[in-house]
Amino acid sequence: MKSARAKTPRKPIVKKGSQTNLKDPVGVYCRVRPLGFPDQECCIEVINNTTVQLHTPEGYRLNRNGDYKETQYSFKQVFGTHTTQKELFDVVANPLVNDLIHGKNGLLFTYGVTGSGKTHTMTGSPGEGGLLPRCLDMIFNSIGSFQAKRYVFKSNDRNSMDIQCEVDALLERQKREAMPNPKTSSSKRQVDPEFADMITVQEFCKAEEVDEDSVYGVFVSYIEIYNNYIYDLLEEVPFDPIKPKWNSCSTPMRNTDFVPPQSKLLREDKNHNMYVAGCTEVEVKSTEEAFEVFWRGQKKRRIANTHLNRESSRSHSVFNIKLVQAPLDADGDNVLQEKEQITISQLSLVDLAGSERTNRTRAEGNRLREAGNINQSLMTLRTCMDVLRENQMYGTNKMVPYRDSKLTHLFKNYFDGEGKVRMIVCVNPKAEDYEENLQVMRFAEVTQEVEVARPVDKAICGLTPGRRYRNQPRGPVGNEPLVTDVVLQSFPPLPSCEILDINDEQTLPRLIEALEKRHHLRQMMIDEFNKQSNAFKALLQEFDNAVLSKENHMQGKLNEKEKMISGQKLEIERLEKKNKTLEYKIEILEKTTTIYEEDKRNLQQELETQNQKLQRQFSDKRRLEARLQGMVTETTMKWEKECLLFQPDQNAPPIRLRHRRSRSAGDRWVDHKPASNMQTETVMQPHVPHAITVSVANEKALAKCEKYMLTHQELASDGEIETKLIKGDIYKTRGGGQSVQFTDIETLKQESPNGSRKRRSSTVAPAQPDGAESEWTDVETRCSVAVEMRAGSQLGPGYQHHAQPKRKKP
């Protein structure tokens, strides 16, 4: 079973920026020609009026391992094998001709493989005129009665038109008619029977809303692009009877031999439009004259017999129809002699040469070179379409290679927005053209996605419309008689006034009687006329009064509306002022909001910083607590071990161990005497031999001794100074530091013999040598001299001193 493969969906066109000019896609139509033989294999099928489907022929499937696919392509409209030239013209070319008459440019070209029916579509055949003769017929049907006289418009070499007055145009016509062998005018010229059937169009076609206050002139030109050179097909090649011509063998040619035409160059006019410099433009006044000019150039076009087509076009042909339009003056009698008011529009009908593969045409020599140039120009056209499509879809600005080919360079203005562009893709459904048709369909698919700016309407000259017929005398409408004729017919006829005899007494009395009757009838008609005139005047007066009253009424309504409008304007002004005030307040609030948001961001950053700082402090605190907990656990275990070692026998009575003072004679002591102690005058003074006296406990002294003694002074309850000697043993810790375990306290106290007490103020503290207040308040504070390891301590690597509390801030 055959499986149909749908076409890849088209990507949406990306429109760049905001564009004020409207754009239309290139209108691409497809026309399928009938097969040459009924039993011939077909590769194209018309699905509906917008879609065709390509089938892979049997031969291609065998060569490609049975690979079979069906591809569908969509067009603006598809014309089948039974489509008439009239139907094609009405859809494709009629709108272009209508735009031409209204001052807009148009481009229509046929594209396809050799033998697909391009020339038949454009030119036609006997009895079946193509698009070109039908366009000419519609133009002259529309402007036939409004054409300017010959030579009123005169072309120049700058792609513009000059305008002449009626006298100058008449002199030039007489001058041309006086020339030897003048051309026969179009009214006296008989139509060439060779193309008479092509221009005989049965259907009458005319443009809508033609400007009657303008005059028109039609100019045609015909060129061909052969081997990427431009040639003028209407150029009259001169003969030089004096100067000899030389051939390639350096021998003189006959003077009457044909001189090859010279190629033309492309130029750019002041409006940046491309045109062929020196191209012949012929003014024509009828369809027959215009088609005869075309037929004369068609005979010069290069055609050749190839394997695919007996009369294959070897060049691209361009038939230009230029319509010149100029308004009439204020009186409507003559053409307005202002060159700025001339409107020039152009319709280009292009018959492209067929794309072909040289291995199928079996071309050699010049035919091979022609085929290469044809394919190269068509490839340049495809490249330009691809770049235009890419620039419009993706917003790029790639340079379009118009100058790579004369064909694309000539029509670059149409793709830049100087007119409407339409293309008819002609296809031959025979299986042998499958691959060529596939390439044609792909090119048509790309072309449909190119958009061209819509041309603007022409400016209005500003003169009063209807001036052509305003000053012309008008006769009776239809067959109605004049009023004077009716009145004269109502009078009685006059008798014969001829007097043959001198004694005739009847002729004059009869004449007098008839005249009196006429006079009486005239008087009655005058009275009736006056009566009706007075009645009509009364009606007019009544009508004037009614109109006046209505005007007064309307004026009163108008005044009320004006008052209402004035009040609404005042209200609008008030609302605008209020709106400006609110906008100013909104602006202030927006600025305030911006400031607050900035402050909010700063506060949030500061809050985050503080939170991070608190987190770090909390982490440090937890680490410190864990370390202190470990120290407490370690110290507890040590004390438990020591208690187990010194635990007395359970059967022995408990004995309190007392250290003899004499035992300390052999140990080394640290004698800790704070600088805040006062010198007493007691006879007994504490003295320890071999002691290291320090005012502040430090690691170095503790490491050298085994015993520790702290001299502590405090004020007793009786007001006397009491000196306590706090003793302890020094142990080494696992962390490499020293700890002190206090074992005994000795007290020295001085008392008066008569029991009297020297009271001192308990609030007065002993003076400090350095003037600083003592921070040692009790025994517990003075005895906290344990030394432990901590990283970063100033006492050494890994030690912490607990005997120096922090000083309070002032």
> How much is the pLDDT for 563?
93
Range 350-374 burial, b when 16+ CB lie within 10 A, else e:
bbbbbbbeeebbebeeebeebbebb
Kindly report the length of the chain. Answer: 810
Tell me which of 137-151, 411-425, 764-778 is least confident.
Answer: 764-778
* pLDDT band (50, 70, 90) for residue 761: very low
> Which of these ranges, 36-50, 462-476, 713-727, 744-758, has the smallest mean pLDDT?
462-476
pLDDT at residue number 504: 75
* Range from 72-81, 86-95, 106-115, 241-250 carrying the lowest mean pLDDT: 241-250
Report the alpha-carbon distance of residue 465 to residue 262 in Å, rounded: 47
pLDDT, residue 366, reads: 67
Q: Is 112 annotated as a binding residue?
A: yes
- Distance in Å from the first CA to the final CA of the chain: 103
How many Cα neighbours within 13 Å face the side chain of 710?
30
pLDDT tens, position by position, 162-207: 898 888 888 888 888 777 654 544 444 566 667 776 777 667 788 8
Residue 739 annotated as part of some ligand binding site: no
Residue 803 pLDDT grade (very low, low, confident, very high; cuts 50, 70, 90): very low
Would you give the DSSP letter of residue 432?
A: G
Most confident of 19-33, 201-215, 547-561: 547-561
Residues 258-306 pLDDT 10s: 456 788 999 998 888 899 999 999 999 999 999 999 999 988 876 644 5
pLDDT value for 716: 76
Q: What is the DSSP string of 128-187?
A: EE-HHHHHHHHHHHHHGGGBPPTTSEEE-TTS-EEE--HHHHHHHHHHHHHSSSPPPPTT
> Any binding-site annotation on 300?
no
Residues 389, 446: contact at Cβ < 8 Å?
A: yes
115 is in an annotated binding site: yes
* Residue percentage of the chain with pLDDT more than 70: 74
Residue 600 annotated as part of some ligand binding site: no
pLDDT tens profile 464-477: 777 777 766 554 44
Amino acid (1-letter code) at residue 174: Q
- pLDDT recorded at residue 795: 40
Lowest mean pLDDT among 420-434, 491-505, 592-606, 672-686: 491-505
Q: What is the per-residue pLDDT for 562?
A: 92
Tell me: the pLDDT tens digits for 324-352?
A: 999 988 887 888 888 888 999 999 999 98
User: Per the annotation, does 130 bind a ligand?
Assistant: no
Min mean pLDDT across 683-692, 728-737, 764-773 is at 764-773
Among 88-97, 168-177, 603-612, which stretch is predicted with the lowest mean pLDDT?
A: 168-177
Q: Is 116 annotated as a binding residue?
A: yes
Half-sphere exposure of 295 (CA within 13 A, CB side): 17
Residue 636 has pLDDT above 70, yes or no: yes
Q: Is the pLDDT of residue 799 over 80?
A: no
Nearest to 123 by CA among 198, 176, 52, 184: 198
Task: Inform me whether the pLDDT recorded for 756 exceeds 60.
Answer: no
State how far the Cα of 286 lies from the Cα of 139, in Å rounded to an integer. 9
113 labeled part of a ligand binding site:
yes
Query: What confidence tens digit (pLDDT) does each residue in 202-233 have?
Result: 677 888 888 888 999 999 999 999 888 999 99
Give residue 750's pLDDT: 76
Closest to 164 measured CA to CA, from 177, 148, 153, 176: 153
Structure tokens at 72: 């569908």
Averaged confidence pLDDT in the chain: 78
